[in-house]
C-alpha cells in the first residue's frame, strides 16, 4: 500500500487489495504498518479506543469495525498491520497525545484473537529527505513482556511490527513459543529498506526455521516520506517465495508446511542452541 492521511480512502484501498487476494485463494492476509493512516505528524488524531470485546463501533472505532467486518465477509484470517489505539490492552488511556501502534488479529468469523503493541520505536537518523525520525514522539511503546503467538489453522503465528525486525531476540522468543510463521507489517523507509529489508527478512527466517511474511508500505507518502515496498514471503530455508515491487500490490503464495518440517528436521536450531 501507499497509505496517506485519509482513513476512509486507505480503508477503501485495503478492502480492494484484500478482495484481490481472496480471489487468488488467500485464506490468511497481512496488511502493512500504518495501512489506515500514514502521516508525518503521527496518528493520535485518528486513534481509536480499543474494542477489547471484539465488537467495534462503526462511528467511534471505524478501523476496527472495518477489520472485523472484512474478516467475516471475506472469510479470511486477517492480521491488521498496525492500528492506532488510544488505549492500552488493559483499557487505560495512553499518555502525552501518543497512541499505541497495535497489530490486531481477527479470525474468519471476525473475532478478535490477539493484540500486539509495537515495542521498538523508530528513533533514528537516516540519510534521506526527512533526515531523522522520532516515533516515540507520537507512539507509546508496548510492554516488553509481550510475546504474542496466535494459533491458526496453518500453524502458530508470531507477531511483530516494522523496526522490531532489527531485534532478533524478539523473533527467537516467538519461535521458542512455538511460532512457525512470523509476520512483519512494516513501513521501512526507501533508504533503510533498500539497504537492509530483504537481508533482515531472510535472516529471521533462516535463524528460526520459520516462514516470514513482510508486508511493507511502498511509495511516496509525503514530500519527506518514501517507503521501500518490496513486500516478500520467505520460506524457512531463507528462499524468497514471492516478492512485490514498490507500489501497491496484493502478494500471494502458498506456504508448504512440509518445507518447515523438513528444514527443522535437517537443521534443528531451536533445540541445538546453547546460550
Measure CA of the first residue to CA of the last residue in the chain; give whole Å: 39
Please identify every residue annotated as catalytic. 33, 118, 162
CA distances from residue 16 to 31, 54, 112, 227, 272 in whole angstroms, order as listed? 12, 23, 22, 21, 44
Q: According to the model, what pLDDT value does residue 54 have?
A: 85
Sign of CA dihedral 263, 267, 269, 271: positive
Pairwise CA distance, residues 39 & 28, whole Å: 27
* Cβ–Cβ under 8 Å, residues 232 and 240: yes
Q: Where are the alpha helices (DSSP H) in 143-216?
A: 168-176, 190-192, 198-208
Q: According to the model, what pLDDT value does residue 275 have?
A: 87
Phi-psi domain of 25 (left: phi exceeds 0; alpha: psi -120 through 50; beta: other): left
CA distances from residue 30 to 95, 216, 217, 243 in whole angstroms, order as listed? 29, 10, 12, 14
Cβ-count burial 238-262 (b if 16+ within 10 Å, e if not):
beebebbebebbbbebebeeebbee
pTM of this structure: 0.97
In order of start, what are the domains of the chain with their CATH numbers? 7-266 (3.60.110.10)
Per-residue model confidence as pLDDT tens digits over 113-123:
999 999 999 99
The helix/strand count (H/E) of the chain reads as 7, 14
Could you list the mean pLDDT of each consecutive 10-residue stretch along the chain, which spans 275 residues? 98 99 98 97 96 94 99 99 98 97 98 98 96 97 96 98 99 98 99 98 99 99 96 99 97 97 97 93
Pairwise CA distance, residues 71 & 172, whole Å: 29
* Cβ–Cβ under 8 Å, residues 36 and 78: no
Cα–Cα nearest to 37, from 75, 57, 11: 11
Q: Are strands 149-152 and 181-186 parallel, antiparallel or unpaired?
A: unpaired
Pairwise CA distance, residues 275 & 96, whole Å: 39
Per-residue model confidence as pLDDT tens digits over 129-162:
999 999 999 999 999 999 999 999 999 999 999 9
Q: According to the model, what pLDDT value does residue 56 have?
A: 97
Amino acid at each position: 500500500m501507499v497509505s496517506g492521511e485519509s482513513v476512509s480512502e486507505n480503508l477503501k484501498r485495503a478492502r480492494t487489495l484484500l478482495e484481490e487476494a481472496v480471489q487468488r485463494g488467500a485464506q490468511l492476509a497481512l496488511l502493512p504498518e500504518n495501512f489506515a493512516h500514514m502521516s508525518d505528524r503521527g496518528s493520535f488524531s485518528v486513534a481509536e479506543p480499543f474494542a477489547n470485546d471484539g465488537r467495534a463501533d462503526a462511528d467511534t472505532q471505524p478501523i476496527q469495525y472495518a477489520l472485523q467486518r472484512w474478516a467475516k465477509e471475506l472469510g479470511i484470517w486477517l492480521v491488521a498491520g498496525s492500528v492506532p489505539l488510544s488505549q492500552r490492552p488493559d483499557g487505560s488511556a495512553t499518555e502525552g497525545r501518543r497512541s499505541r501502534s497495535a497489530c490486531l488479529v481477527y479470525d474468519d468469523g471476525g473475532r478478535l484473537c490477539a493484540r500486539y503493541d509495537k515495542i521498538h520505536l523508530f528513533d533514528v537518523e537516516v540519510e534521506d529527505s526527512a533526515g531523522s525520525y522520532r516515533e516515540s514522539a507520537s507512539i507509546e511503546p508496548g510492554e516488553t513482556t509481550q510475546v504474542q503467538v496466535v494459533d491458526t489453522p496453518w500453524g502458530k503465528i508470531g507477531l511483530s511490527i516494522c523496526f522490531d525486525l532489527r531485534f532478533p531476540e524478539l523473533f527467537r522468543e516467538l519461535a521458542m513459543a512455538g511460532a512457525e510463521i512470523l509476520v512483519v507489517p512494516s513501513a521501512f523507509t526507501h533508504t533503510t529498506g533498500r539497504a537492509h529489508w530483504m537481508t533482515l527478512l531472510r535472516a529471521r527466517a533462516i535463524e528460526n526455521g520459520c516462514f516470514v511474511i513482510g508486508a511493507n508500505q511502498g511509495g511516496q507518502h509525503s514530500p519527506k516520506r518514501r517507503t521501500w515496498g518490496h513486500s516478500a514471503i520467505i520460506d524457512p530455508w531463507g528462499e524468497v517465495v514471492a516478492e512485490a515491487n514498490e507500489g501497491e500490490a496484493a502478494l500471494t503464495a502458498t506456504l508448504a508446511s512440509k518445507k518447515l518440517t523438513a528444514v527443522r528436521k535437517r537443521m534443528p536450531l531451536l533445540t541445538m542452541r546453547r546460550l
